[in-house]
Structure 1
Amino acid sequence: MTTPLPDLPDIEWRVSAGLTPYDDALAEMESRAAAVSRGEARELIWLLEHPPVYTAGTSADPAELIDPRFPVVPAGRGGRYTYHGPGQRVVYLVLDLNKRGRDVRAFVHGVEDWVIAALARLGVPAYSVDGRVGIWTTAGGPEAKVGAIGVRVKRWITLHGFAVNVAPDLSHFGGIVPCGLPDYPVTSLDMLGVGDELATFDAALALTATAFLETLSFSRENEA
């Protein structure tokens, strides 16, 4: 399946094949964010996969690292421990909030709404919950987490973004308390019967990306 490219002027939409090492992605994000801040590069929406890795946000509690069977990397983003690995679509956002409204809360809500809209296109009802970071669904029965969100903002340039479980090995989440929420399971699009193709989810993201950015533009207008 060929992913349609959204019409996003001045924003690079990049889909990386294969597995991108987490440290390499962090370095690329930091470099790109600095270049965007200096006005030397376009903003970036980057879709990729990582080899198995546990990442530690700035609020990570060592007690929630149960079985470090994979490398553990400090991420520099907000939040606690999360897992990335094959079959999970990770999306990094290097966007300039100086021109999109300097409102981190509005940005995070916009990201939540974007993921929810993309999942809706695939027939998966999903939602966010105040005080409980992530994207949730009851489509498979009990409430479960299908997506994680963790962002950082530096000089009003965003870094990191979100991850949606398309078809990862869900047992890999057992090495941590995902996002510090021990009472909730994780699920995937594959478990929900949507399929295991990243390109299917990518297409839904592409079709809803413009609305996400328009939401941020609306935030900017309200600020003015």
Structure 2
Amino acid sequence: MQPDVRRLGRVDYLPVFEAMKAFTGSRNAQKTDEIGLRPNENARDQLWICEHNPVYTQGLAGKSDHILNPGDIPVVQTDRGGQVTYHGPGQVVAYPLIDLKRAGYYVKEYVYRIEESVIKTLAHFGVTGHRVTGSPGIYVRMDDPASHAALSGPLDPTDPFRGLGKIAALGIKVSRHCTYHGVAFNVAMDLEPFTRINPCGYAGLKTTDLSTIGVSASWQEVADVLGQKLSTYLAP
């Protein structure tokens, strides 16, 4: 069964973060029945899709020295994995609220399915997405975004991303088999705020969006495609 999709529009980050925690907490609530205590499994999976006002979010293990110059953009400490990232207008943010035990797959596959959804969304717009081992998220070739050539050769320690730009960031939290947080896909943003941080903890990592690599697509078009791909790939 595919998750119920909720479209939230443009919203501040903090209320959505609190709502995700509350939803996940409620579906993890214990109830007593004839066979004792067990998790409440009645809540259907959901997929929340939104756009945020400017905000930096810091992961649980995030280091403050990766936040270089936040200026007037607020910094919110979260309980997801990963380091600091930026959310702002022109970015599609998707929060899958999935019961992995019920879905029948584990965290590693869950991450793979989210990344595959992004790759298929990029392909819809004529762009080839790439994974980089050890660095969750999806990357594109800045000089040739449509190239299907596989990444090859040893990593250059002076340029571990080899001319790539990060177009989608991933940060998740799993509580008693239930997921929250999710993925942010850059469509047509002001990318300057990314220069005020070390994105995802990597100094000098280039961040890009569809507009910068020559793809003209509206926020809504990308949100619709990404939502459809996530609904399909995250289904049990």
Instruction: State whether TM-score is above 0.5.
Output: yes
Partner of 1:158: 179
The 5 A counterparts of 1:112-151 are 112-141=115-144, 142-151=163-172
Q: Is there any run of 5+ residues in structure 1 with no aligned partner, and where? A: 1-7, 218-224
SS at match of 2:172: strand
> CA-to-partner distance for each residue in 1:107-160, whole Å, 9 max, x for gaps?
111111111111111111101111112110005453100000000000110010
Question: Is 2:57 the partner of 1:66?
Answer: no
The 5 A counterparts of 1:31-42 are 31-37=22-28, 38-42=40-44
Distance 1:39 1:131 in 2: 33
Task: Give the aligned CA root-mean-square deviation in angstroms.
Answer: 1.6
Q: TM-score scaled to structure 1, two decimals?
A: 0.86
Question: Is 2:211 the partner of 1:208?
Answer: no
- Asked if 1 retains the 8 angstrom alpha-carbon contact of 2:59 and 2:81, the reply is yes
Partner of 1:26: 17
SS at match of 2:102: coil
Aligned length: 206
Distance 2:127 2:203 in 1: 23
Partner of 1:221: none
- Asked if 2 retains the 8 angstrom alpha-carbon contact of 1:149 and 1:162, the reply is yes
Partner of 1:176: 197
CA 207–73 in structure 1, closer or farther in 2 if over 3 Å, else same = closer
> CA-to-partner distance for each residue in 1:47-104, whole Å, 9 max, x for gaps?
1011111100012111111002211101110000000011111101110011123511
Q: Is there any run of 5+ residues in structure 2 with no aligned partner, and where? A: 29-39, 145-162
SS at match of 1:137: strand
SS at match of 2:118: helix
Aligned with residue 8 of structure 2, among 16, 25, 40: 16
CA 210–64 in structure 1, closer or farther in 2 if over 3 Å, else same = closer
SS at match of 2:46: strand
Query: Which residue identity lines up with residue 181 of structure 1 in the other structure?
Result: Y
Distance 1:198 1:130 in 2: 28
CA 152–12 in structure 1, closer or farther in 2 if over 3 Å, else same = same
Q: Which moved more, 1:162-171 or 1:180-189?
A: 180-189
Distance 2:198 2:125 in 1: 28
Compute the displacement of 1:174 (Å).
1.4
CA 64–139 in structure 1, closer or farther in 2 if over 3 Å, else same = closer
Compute the displacement of 1:196 (Å).
4.7
